[in-house]
Amino acid sequence: MSLELDLVIASRTLAEHGVIDAYGHASARSDRNPQRYFMARNVAPELVTKADILEYDLDSNPIDADGRAVYNERFIHGEIYKARPDVMAIVHNHSHAVIPFACTGVALQPIFHMSAFIGLGVPGWDIRDAQKGSDMLVRNAQLGEHLARALGKHPAVLMRGHGSTVVAESIPRAVGRSVYLDVNARMQQQAMALAKTGTVVSLERRVALVPKPDETKADGKPHGIAFYEIRFKTFPADDPRGNPGFSSDVQEFHVHGGMTHLDALCHESIDGKLYNGFPLKDTVSEETGCTKLGLDNLGDGIVTRGILIDMTRLKSAAARAPGSPVYADDIEAWERQAGLKVSSGDALFVYNTPAPGRAGAGPGVNGGFDLSVVTWLKARGVAVTSGVRAIAEDNHADHKLVLATLGVYLLDGVQLDRLAETAARLNRWEFLLIVAPPQVPGSTGAIVNPLAIF
């Protein structure tokens, strides 16, 4: 497929997603001459055809416009291509969701995995710093160069009262970043609006102290056996390091045990492949841990909308046995009953207390989602979930499909009794979820205390 046709598809895709309006535009550096780039003539993006694509030099002069009008703000593209040889595609848009972040002191945060690139930094740019009394448009090379300096080495730059400009090493990546910058902005505004009463509920299961297994004592490595040990000391008055009366402790644990923890995407693999096809043998080692997809990627944690499905209150499931698996039809029935819709970036939980005597029964333990729900989670773009059931044939099927196939974070071992009680009392089934794992290099998971804020 030609670069020109890629641009046509990019323009129409961005328009379809509502990221660019009639005045937004996408470009691509020429694959034949890096001192040239391609962009459409001045036409609404949803109407772009291959015949509309023009070639420009890096001073943003069209090579052969043949009388056709060109975009006033083409200088955004030319000056960024000059400043950033690594950039191969650019999207300038006027996303309505992003503009409030460009005009206020509220920073964009990457609140779900598809917008992780925001963690590389998204600076702001104010045209008033380059020119007083402008019409806000980047109409010349001087303004374009000023914007390129503000962008620096980042993946995007916010433009006060205007929109944003997104860059990448390919057209698909630039389109994806533009879409998910918009989605992230909407989700972040939604999440910030969820905390209304200030009621905070912990989803953490209390840590139980369990001795270290002999296998781990022997080699210091994990062996799939849960344990948690803690040892204390109060320093004496003559402590040689000057800490008299100071009390401290050393804690050791296997992170993927019975405690509430967040799984990194590198925690599970299928046939030697991690999420996005990264080879397990080249990505995870016993010396460095995960070189990709580790929890240290979540530097700003997870801040998003959480939704609780309470099967004990679902009218259409009244005759179902406690602890039964939850199916996609149940989720959609709950959406209708609660007046909610699970959307891209949400964290989804199910409360369904198992029948007394069932294996694993206990406070806060759930019947969980049936494994068939995984395709539904993918279709809705769920970013975080918990309680997906494995199957008898493969007790890791839940982790394999959720982590390695979908790239959805798993919160294991959450306790939902108090969350269900609070949601029922407030008659609110959505909340602000905050999960902040420590930034441990290469980590496959972390013990966390997820907080739901109503």
The first and second tokens of residue 109, run together, are 């945060």
Print the domain residue range for 222.
214-253
Whether residues 181 and 79 fall in one domain = yes
pLDDT digit string (tens) for 376-423? 999 999 999 998 998 889 989 999 999 999 999 999 999 999 999 999
Query: Other CB atoms closer than 10 Å to residue 433's CB: what's the count?
Result: 24
Whether residues 8 and 137 fall in one domain = yes
Mean model confidence pLDDT for the chain: 92
pLDDT digit string (tens) for 328-345? 999 999 999 999 999 999
Distance CA 416, CA 429 (A): 12
> According to the model, what pLDDT value does residue 403 have?
96
Domain-embedded: residue 209: no
Burial of 450 (0-12, 13-18, 19+ CB in 10 A): buried
pLDDT of 298 strictly over 90: no
Least confident of 72-81, 259-268, 354-363, 404-413: 354-363
Asked which of 223, 253, 283 is the last residue of a domain, the reply is 253
Eight-state DSSP code of residue 206: P
Domain-embedded: residue 27: yes
Number of domains making up the chain:
3
> According to the model, what pLDDT value does residue 137 have?
94
Whether residues 176 and 247 fall in one domain = no
Domain-embedded: residue 378: yes
Whether residues 335 and 445 fall in one domain = yes
Alpha carbon separation from 400 to 146, 273, 393, 407 (Å, rounded): 47, 10, 13, 10
Residue of 76, 39, 82, 100 whose CA lies nearest to 156: 76
pLDDT of 134 strictly over 90: no
Whether residues 243 and 300 fall in one domain = no
Asked which of 226, 253, 280 is the last residue of a domain, the reply is 253
Whether residues 130 and 43 fall in one domain = yes
Domain-embedded: residue 199: no
Whether residues 32 and 51 fall in one domain = yes
Whether residues 73 and 15 fall in one domain = yes
pLDDT digit string (tens) for 239-252? 999 999 999 999 99
Domain-embedded: residue 37: yes
More confident residue, 447 or 323: 447
Distance CA 93, CA 26 (A): 9
Is 204 an annotated catalytic residue?
no
> According to the model, what pLDDT value does residue 318 have?
62
Distance CA 426, CA 348 (A): 18
Task: Pick the catalytic residue from 46, 55, 73, 145.
Answer: 73
Whether residues 265 and 155 fall in one domain = no
Report if pTM > 0.75: no
Asked which of 172, 189, 206 is the last residue of a domain, the reply is 189
Query: Other CB atoms closer than 10 Å to residue 183's CB: what's the count?
Result: 22
**Residue the block writes with tokens 């441990």:** 440
Whether residues 230 and 144 fall in one domain = no
Domain-embedded: residue 194: no
Q: Which H helix or E strand runs over 159?
A: strand 156-159
Whether residues 10 and 125 fall in one domain = yes
Whether residues 38 and 102 fall in one domain = yes
Domain-embedded: residue 103: yes
> According to the model, what pLDDT value does residue 126 have?
93
Eight-state DSSP code of residue 377: H
Average of per-residue pLDDT across 67-75 = 94
Contact 138, 73 (CB under 8 A): yes
Domain-embedded: residue 65: yes
Residue of 443, 120, 449 whose CA lies nearest to 296: 443
Contact 257, 227 (CB under 8 A): yes
The first and second tokens of residue 333, run together, are 């029935």
